[in-house]
Amino acid sequence: MIRICSRTSHPHLGVRYFKLMLTEEDDDDIAPSYLTFHFLLVACLNASLFSVCKQVHCLVVKNGVFTSDGHVQTGILRLYVEGKVLLDARKVFDEIPHPDVVKWDVLMNGYVKCGLGSDGLVVFREMLGRGIEPDRFSVTTALTACAQAGALAQGKWIHELLKKKKGWIESDVFVGTALVDMYAKCGCLETAVEVFEKLSKRNVFSWAALIGGYAAYGCGKEAFTCLEKMEGEDGVKPDSVVLLAVLAACAHGGFLQEGRGIFDNMEARYGITPKHEHYSCIVDLMCRAGRLNEAVDLIEEMPMKPLASVWGALLNGCRTHKNVELGELAVKNLLELEKGNADEEEAALVQLSSIYMTAQRNGEASKIRQMIGQKVIRKTPGCSVLEVDGNVTKFVSADVSHPNLLQIHTIIRILSVDALQIL
């Protein structure tokens, strides 16, 4: 019953049957086996019952199953990872005597899902150091970690590794797509295109990765061309993610007519109803083009409540085009939506102050500055990420904890002097 329920639309019933099994008083011989725990873990994962991680883990250890069954070990590890309890996940992993490539991938994927790509790459290097041969899944995860961390050198190294594996890039759509995505997000668009063109299998995710790269760098024409090619060459129908990427590319490239055409025909041509993120993108595009009043009209016609991303796009447009009235409207709505979020409140008020200053309304600008001071708002410090010799380092504004701080400042001063001499 636990096995059957674990794979249905009501997997939590499998957990309920397990509890009944433990409380059964009529038969003392009923005891969970390794198969019982295997299906219990499947039920917990499918029902997203991550809060029971430690309870299930304790039962598995108590019954002596953890040390003897690899599937149960992987299930426990996945339960901690999916629950984003990475410290405990790492402890569980370290208790496994000889983890196979599947378990390494589960742990690495956990770091990536939590936005810790650099830590995921540390796990990948540790796996290689122990002589574990990576499979296609672990390589795909490692490339995703490189894209997330901006670790181009490590991504290139993995690419060289893949070249030694016959057919892994060209014939495996997931590996190929991850490689395209890595190069695109690391700014190597030409290389991303080269890899993409060599793929024998391409799906909607492959096209989305390439178009997303074009969008990030404002290549609207190229993104629009890709949209036409994916239907014409591969017969792949774009999904909402692809259309969002094309709209973003149009916004960054200033292609108002093309972007508006895609947005207006999403349902008729592609059968996709625009979501909030599509509205955010088209509002951003219209505001960049100076069509602020049209953007407000569109916001008022939205079938869902406009969220911060929409009003933020309008506010950015008002700052660029010096529109005080609509800027005040955008800030009013942003403050209502972001109440309690100090960072977002400050960002909105600072932009409004800038709009007032540009419009030579210094009195209002001064009041906004005073308001920011009274709220004692502290903005989250900015950071930069650099990769040197394959090592990714994050530099946070005003941070003095780096071990090579003195040398870094010395080099910056030397470069500054050299730059002044050139000028």
Give the pLDDT score at 132.
95
pLDDT at 389: 60
Amino acid, res. 361: R
Averaging pLDDT over each range in 25-34, 38-47, 166-175, 273-282, which range is the top one? Answer: 273-282
Q: Which residues pair with 396 in a beta bridge?
A: 383
Reduced 3-state DSSP string for 334-349: HHHHCCCCHHHHHHHH
Q: Which has the higher per-residue pLDDT, 117 or 423? A: 117
Helices (H) and strands (E) in the chain, counts: 25, 2
Backbone φ and ψ of 287, nearest 5°: -70, -40
% of the chain surpassing 90 pLDDT = 52
> Residue 129's pLDDT is what?
95
Above 80 in pLDDT, residue 12?
Answer: no
Longest Cα separation, the chain: 90
Contacts of residues 48-55 at CB distance under 8 Å and 24 or more positions apart, as own/partner, are 48/82, 49/12, 49/15, 50/79, 50/82, 50/83, 50/84, 50/85, 51/83, 52/15, 52/79, 53/79, 53/80, 53/83, 53/85, 53/88, 54/88
Cα–Cα distance measured from residue 371 to residue 363, given in angstroms and rounded to the nearest whole number? 13
Structure confidence at residue 355 (pLDDT): 87
Q: Summarize the confidence of residues 25-54 as an average pLDDT.
A: 73
For tokens 């409207």, the residue is 329
Q: Is there a contact between 162 and 179 (Cβ–Cβ < 8 Å)?
A: yes
- For residue 266, the model assigns a pLDDT of 95
Burial of 113 (0-12, 13-18, 19+ CB in 10 A): middle
* 114-167 pLDDT tens trace: 999 999 999 999 999 999 999 999 999 999 999 999 999 999 999 999 998 888
Half-sphere exposure of 347 (CA within 13 A, CB side): 19
- pTM of the predicted structure, to 2 decimals: 0.78
Note the Cα 150 to chain centre separation in Å: 13
Residue 24 pLDDT? 66
Q: What mean pLDDT comes out for the span 88-104?
A: 93
Contact 124, 392 (CB under 8 A): no
pLDDT above 90 for 287: yes
* Burial bucket for residue 320 (CB in 10 Å: 0-12, 13-18, 19+): middle
**What's the residue count for the chain?**
423
Give the alpha-carbon dihedral of 164, 170, 171, 172, to 10 degrees.
Answer: 80
The secondary element (H helix, E strand) that includes residue 393 is strand 391-396
Q: What pLDDT score was predicted for residue 145?
A: 96
Q: How confident is the model at residue 381 (pLDDT cuts 50, 70, 90)?
A: low
Alpha carbon distance 404, 408 (integer Å): 6
Asked if residues 236 and 270 have their Cβ atoms less than 8 Å apart, the reply is no
In this predicted model, which residue has the larger pLDDT, 183 or 418? 183
Report the alpha-carbon distance of residue 419 to residue 423 in Å, rounded.
Answer: 6
Q: What is the C-alpha separation between 269 and 265, in angstroms, rounded?
A: 6
* CB contact at 8 A, 1 and 17: yes
Q: Which residues contact 251 (CB under 8 A, 6 or more apart)?
A: 259, 281, 282, 284, 285, 288
**What pLDDT does residue 4 have?**
76
What would the mean pLDDT of 40-66 be, rounded to a whole number? 79
3-state percent breakdown (helix, strand, coil) of the chain, nearest 5:
70, 5, 25
Contact 147, 181 (CB under 8 A): yes
- DSSP helix/strand/coil, 218: coil
pLDDT of residue 390: 58
Question: Of the candidates 224, 157, 234, which has an alpha carbon nearest to the alpha carbon of residue 202?
Answer: 234
